[in-house]
Chain A
């Protein structure tokens, strides 16, 4: 594909285009739509983790004031899509695997057993407290450690051992490191509670306001579940208050809201509670991993082995790339990996920022660090000695790879030189000081996108696509691209999203939105330019597109003449130009492997008496191609570092395995970073274009911002204390013991 622009010219920095709406309270998230006749739904969850509901008493709830309906498996309207396929794991229907209110089987603690709908939120909440259920309890299975000991993992192609070169090469290497690493459940917990508002417009049409990262996928899921034509499901998601993956699926509660709205003939608003956010919208699965690395005395990795064990639900197999980074990051001829999952009495996990790679990078990057000490080599130098110049899996060249530059830029900015190599050798004000680093990578993708573009006589360029933005700033990046391409000021570009009536856009996930949709927007602008030049042909003969410069809202011709876009429209008697454009994968890419890279640097202070770990300084360096929107990109990297601090030091979903019940499903007990936990975070980008992936030269960023971060912290704690902590989160008890 041709590049439309000179990729070496950086984009000028702009403020977030929806900033004003966000700071004034005008941004309207899902639960904020007011509809006439609106009703409120509150879900009641099971108090056991495994068994069946034997009786459910809804009488008092039904009699409570304001209650309009109580839905349970005994009276739930049929969801037609649920009839298809015996196994919800096949994912043929919308509801996210679990068929809500479909039978009396309890598969996990907190599984919805009833939905109470009332005329106010308070009345629905009170009535929900009156529901009484009796159960036939069975022993819950929620402990991964027990499962590894007693059970067999799920079998299938995804779970076969993968071998490259010689399987056991690491064992005979002169220098070896080995370790078992534990990462607990982590929960996305976006600040906005998941919410659905559903309103039926007749028998075969429904309008849904949904917290979703995928407007089109939500539309499809609901259409499939209720057997509707896709166009008869209207989805709105104008603002999404964070997701980090939790809004990548259409979850059962959304199906319940649509079901209830149908039964009542009134719109239903269903907002999850914070505790329900831990149980009903996915989480990062707990993982236990064993890694072994063998190297030569001069630091060449000879062989590696990585075994990963993780949890899934007992009704769906959830897979992610725990061992992907081990296969990719270092040049290493001999490697064996095996990924194992165990079905549990837990709801289905889902991709959480940096998905499997974030989990898998923890053992890998800690083991590299351990190896650097065993070899007496600087950890960055060790990584450079094993730098993969081509894809170690298939030998393909990279479309672009500037990881070396990222190591150097980050080290420079961080002041890595100041690190004394020996562990426990640095101190400040009675605290032990440690420096740690790690690297991360994630595939760079480009999918299919479609936009509608309209340039009007008043000089406004409007572009629409059915994507949503959970925070990274999609509208800002697209505005930046279009304003740059067209030579229009930013305030003359309006990018609209969050509406399924717009042309289908991609799901915002896998760090691919800017790559995918940025391509479509670039191509749409290119088509607009062609149309504008065609308008000129009535006045000027023989104008080639290449001879026209598009700047400051006007076309500048070789002969020195210029004409504004709006005047060109007027002269042609056109009120506006409209077009749609679509784009897909770049077939060129088959020849390449494409990844984004990050390098995280962390300075910690560890209190020797109390074991408290404070993050003192962070630098994250990224190779994410050409940066489209500097300000929002830096924010995204900082956000990843903050998430990383949470995962490294505090986040831990605790389940009481005796009952399979959540212990800490709220923000007082499940700790996430707050202001006082986070130092200034510095971000530096290599900012060099990827020449193949897409016309803008961008790669993805959302995942690499977090991948590897926990290892950087653990490595810094080792450097500060001499103690290698292999279990997250790194809490004072582990530092002290």
Chain B
């Protein structure tokens, strides 16, 4: 939770920026850009910080290049959802505990809520929106429909992105192996048996693009 009482041990009520302000006034004064020092003195530190705190970022998402400028604290998940409006990737926890936000970064499955956007410079990202080619669904997307591998559908993009990787990694040799290597993706609707059916079928056909 975000609330802090007066005796909260974690932050002591001191903000990152008030720390910046204090440090500009003392030892760090020589290292800090003069404009920032002046800004801090005029209590414009927050706005000044805003200017300096954006990172340039070049990434490719689903084959499309993007040239962006992001705050360092923006996660890949929020970048996708809030700035690029690719909302197929879901937020189920924001703490790396549920798998709903699974995407591929350079072909590897990754939890986008635990990945800072700024660290993806030069990387190729694939999201659920980039899996089908036009109207041709990926074999796993088709298998999920056929086996009813979902109910509400909220965990589904993460399940499918994970499943594609699970097969590619060679971790779909048996039901037990599929279950083990898919255990990072929670489905609260409980579609697990059907998801395993879908993955097994595609894995056995060797059908991953």
Contacts and interface: CB of A to CB of B under 8 A. Distances in A.
Interface of A: 15-16, 18-29, 31-32, 34, 42, 44-47, 60, 63-66, 110, 113-114, 120-122, 125-126, 128-135, 189-193, 239-244, 271, 273-276, 470-473, 631-632, 634-636, 638-643, 666-668, 672-676, 678-681
A655 B46 CA distance: 38
Contacts of A681: 193
Given A47-B1, A470-B152, 16 more contacts: A19-B150, A22-B150, A28-B87, A44-B3, A130-B4, A132-B13, A135-B5, A191-B100, A191-B154, A274-B94, A473-B151, A642-B190, A667-B97, A674-B185, A678-B179, A680-B196
Contacts of B22: none
Contacts of A64: 15, 17, 46
B41 interface: no
B190 to A, nearest CB: 3
B188 to A, nearest CB: 5
B24 interface: no
Contacts of A244: 188
B1 A678 contact: no
A578 B151 CA distance: 31
Interface stretch (B30-38, B78-86, B201-209): B78-86
Interface in B105-133: 127-129, 131-132
B26 interface: no
Contacts of B17: 64
B68 to A, nearest CB: 14
Contact of B11 (A113, A129, A189): A129
Contacts of A673: 190, 192
B93 interface: yes
29 contacts: A18-B153, A22-B150, A24-B132, A26-B88, A45-B2, A65-B46, A129-B11, A131-B2, A131-B3, A131-B4, A190-B152, A191-B189, A192-B154, A239-B152, A241-B90, A470-B152, A471-B151, A471-B153, A635-B191, A643-B188, A666-B93, A666-B95, A667-B95, A667-B97, A674-B183, A674-B186, A675-B179, A676-B183, A681-B193
A495 to B, nearest CB: 16
Nearest to B147: A631
A665 to B, nearest CB: 8
Contacts of B97: 274, 666-668
Contacts of B74: 122
Contacts of A133: 3, 5
B160 to A, nearest CB: 6
A633 to B, nearest CB: 10
A625 B110 CA distance: 44
A31 B82 CA distance: 10
B165 interface: no
A44 B46 contact: no
B91 A193 contact: yes
A705 B144 CA distance: 22
The 7 closest A-B pairs by CB, nearest first: A25-B88, A642-B190, A241-B154, A22-B153, A471-B152, A471-B151, A639-B190
B50 A678 contact: no
B2 A241 contact: no
A24 B137 contact: yes
A275 to B, nearest CB: 6
Contact of A129 (B4, B85, B89, B95): B4
Which of A129, A239, A276 has its CB near the most chain B CB atoms (within 10 A)?
A129
A471 B156 CA distance: 12
B106 to A, nearest CB: 20
B88 to A, nearest CB: 2
Given A45-B1, A191-B98, A667-B93, A25 B6 contact: no
B144 A19 contact: yes
Contacts of B86: 25
A45 B90 CA distance: 24
Interface residues of B, number: 75
A274 B93 contact: yes
Given A28-B87, A192-B152, A638 B93 contact: no
Which of B49, B127, B156, B179 has its CB near the most chain A CB atoms (within 10 A)?
B156
Contacts of A273: 1, 94
Which of A32, A114, A641 has its CB near the most chain B CB atoms (within 10 A)?
A32
A28 B89 CA distance: 11
Nearest to B16: A126
Nearest to B75: A122
Which of B18, B81, B82, B86 has its CB near the most chain A CB atoms (within 10 A)?
B82
Contacts of B191: 635, 638-639
Nearest to A662: B1
A126 B186 CA distance: 28
Contacts of B132: 24
A47 B137 contact: no
A639 B85 contact: no
Which of A47, A129, A675, A676 has its CB near the most chain B CB atoms (within 10 A)?
A675
B153 A239 contact: yes
Nearest to A470: B152
A464 to B, nearest CB: 21
A19 B8 CA distance: 47
Contacts of A66: 50
A429 to B, nearest CB: 14
B157 A25 contact: yes
A675 B4 CA distance: 37
Which of A27, A45, A473 has its CB near the most chain B CB atoms (within 10 A)?
A27
A44 B1 CA distance: 7
Interface string B153-182: 111110010000000000000010011101
A193 B92 contact: yes
Contact of B152 (A130, A191, A193): A191
Nearest to B152: A471
B10 to A, nearest CB: 9
B60 interface: no
Which of A21, A23, A27, A47 has its CB near the most chain B CB atoms (within 10 A)?
A23
A547 to B, nearest CB: 39
B162 to A, nearest CB: 10
A162 to B, nearest CB: 34
Contacts of B3: 44-47, 113-114, 128, 131, 133
Contact of A676 (B141, B151, B180): B180
Contacts of B144: 19, 23
Nearest to A192: B154
B82 A120 contact: yes
Nearest to B4: A132
B48 to A, nearest CB: 10
B76 to A, nearest CB: 13
B134 to A, nearest CB: 11
B192 A122 contact: no
Contact of B151 (A15, A21, A639, A678): A639
B153 A134 contact: no
Contact of A667 (B11, B98, B151): B98
Given A18-B153, A675-B178, A643 B5 contact: no
B23 interface: no
Interface string B39-50: 000000011011
A470 B195 CA distance: 19
B120 to A, nearest CB: 16
Contact of B194 (A113, A129, A635): A635
Which of A66, A271, A470, A639 has its CB near the most chain B CB atoms (within 10 A)?
A639
Given A122-B78, A668-B95, A638 B186 contact: no
Nearest to A110: B1
B187 interface: yes
Given A23-B156, A191-B154, A632-B148, A125 B2 contact: yes
A190 B150 CA distance: 13
Contacts of B18: 60
Given A20-B145, A65-B50, A672 B186 contact: yes
Nearest to B92: A191
Nearest to B180: A676
Contacts of A15: 145-146, 148
